[in-house]
Amino acid sequence: MMIFSLVGCNRSSKTITAFRDSGIPETEYWQIESIQSGDRVLVKKGFRKRTLQLCGLGDLTLDAKPYLQQQVKQSPDVVPVVFAGKDKDKDTWYGDIWVGMGDDEESATGLLLFNGLARLSNDYYTCANGDSLKLAENLAREQKVGVWADR
């Protein structure tokens, strides 16, 4: 099973870094309320809700959302979420969620890339774990899966 490291993101001048002191994304535990698209989820913790954009993804396939829904169903009610930044103009946070159970938890962003359900966005390098994301995309490309099947 492919294991991806923590993924976070820090986007250009439109992003406020969520963790100014250390610059290191923190893991928090949130409930996934809904999957809005293959790269956007609504999470909640108590009375707080946040829209989370999975960092580093672009060109998602139509299968990305159902795949993400399946991964969330196979996860506990409360999942690890890494918030790495927030858009100043919108109420959108950037980061990653961890899906799966126990020792099999993996980065949702990495899984989407590894399974060829998305490509990296041009700003993937701003994600805290851009190298791992690039590796996941390269493996999908080599295996010719998903978006890479016809190449």
pLDDT at 118: 97
What local confidence, expressed as pLDDT, does residue 31 receive? 97
Helical (H) or strand (E) element with 111: helix 108-114
Query: Is 9 part of any domain?
Result: no
The reply to whether 1 falls in a domain is no
What amino acid is encoded at 136 in this protein? A
What is the Cα–Cα distance from 82 to 149, expressed in whole angstroms? 31
- What residues make up the domain containing 25? 15-144
Per-residue pLDDT of the chain (151 residues; tens, 9 = 90+): 444 443 333 333 344 344 444 555 678 999 999 999 999 999 999 999 999 999 999 999 999 999 999 999 999 999 999 887 888 888 899 889 999 988 888 999 999 999 999 999 988 877 767 888 999 999 999 999 999 998 6
pLDDT at position 3: 43
Given a contact cutoff of 8 angstroms between Cβ atoms, the answer to whether 117 and 67 are in contact is: yes
CA atoms within 13 A on the CB side of 75: 25
- Residue 151: per-residue pLDDT: 66
Residue 8 inside a domain? The answer is no
In-domain check, residue 83: yes
Number of structural domains found in the chain: 1
Radius of gyration of the chain (CA): 14
Within 10 Å of residue 77's Cβ, how many Cβ atoms? 8
pLDDT at 4 (0 to 100): 46
Is residue 129 included in any domain, yes or no? yes
> What is the reported pLDDT for 84?
77
Q: What is the pLDDT of residue 10?
A: 33
Residue 2 located in a structural domain: no
CATH of the domain at 64: 2.40.50.90
pTM, whole model, 2 decimals? Answer: 0.82
